[in-house]
């Protein structure tokens, strides 16, 4: 991943893995599924969750990373993403 001077991100040479849930997960469920998908069994290391916000119009879309560290952070992220989709 590359970040420019404005903190916009571009994904380079990364593999994407989608996690599907039947309903909106709790933060702890998101972490558990990510650990399962990554086969991350170590309890010594935490997983960092980073969301990506896409914004912009007229063919010029920017992507910015947002750190998600708690249930409150996940709620805020989901609300922002939903507003951007309107």
Indicate whether 14 pLDDT > 90. Answer: no
Q: Helices (DSSP H) in the chain: which residue ranges?
A: 27-38, 71-85
Indicate whether 11 pLDDT > 80. Answer: no
Indicate whether 75 pLDDT > 90. Answer: yes
Indicate whether 73 pLDDT > 90. Answer: yes
Q: Measured between alpha carbons, how far is residue 86 from residues 13, 51, 59, 82, 83 in Å? A: 30, 18, 17, 7, 5
**Rounded-to-integer distance, Cα 33 and Cα 25, Å:** 10
Indicate whether 15 pLDDT > 70. Answer: no
Residues paired with residue 51 on neighbouring β-strands, in sequence order: 66
CB 40 within 8 A of CB 47: yes
Q: Does residue 53 or residue 17 have the better pLDDT?
A: 53
**Rounded-to-integer distance, Cα 35 and Cα 72, Å:** 20
pTM: 0.67
């Amino acid at each position: 991943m590359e970040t420019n001077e404005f903190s916009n991100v571009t994904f380079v040479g990364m593999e994407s893995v989608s996690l599907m849930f039947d309903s909106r997960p709790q933060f702890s469920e998101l972490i558990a599924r990510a650990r399962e998908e990554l086969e991350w069994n170590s309890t010594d290391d935490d997983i960092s969750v980073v969301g990506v916000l896409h914004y912009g119009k007229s063919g010029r879309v920017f992507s910015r990373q947002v750190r998600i560290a708690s249930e409150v952070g996940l709620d805020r992220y989901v609300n922002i993403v939903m507003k951007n989709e309107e």
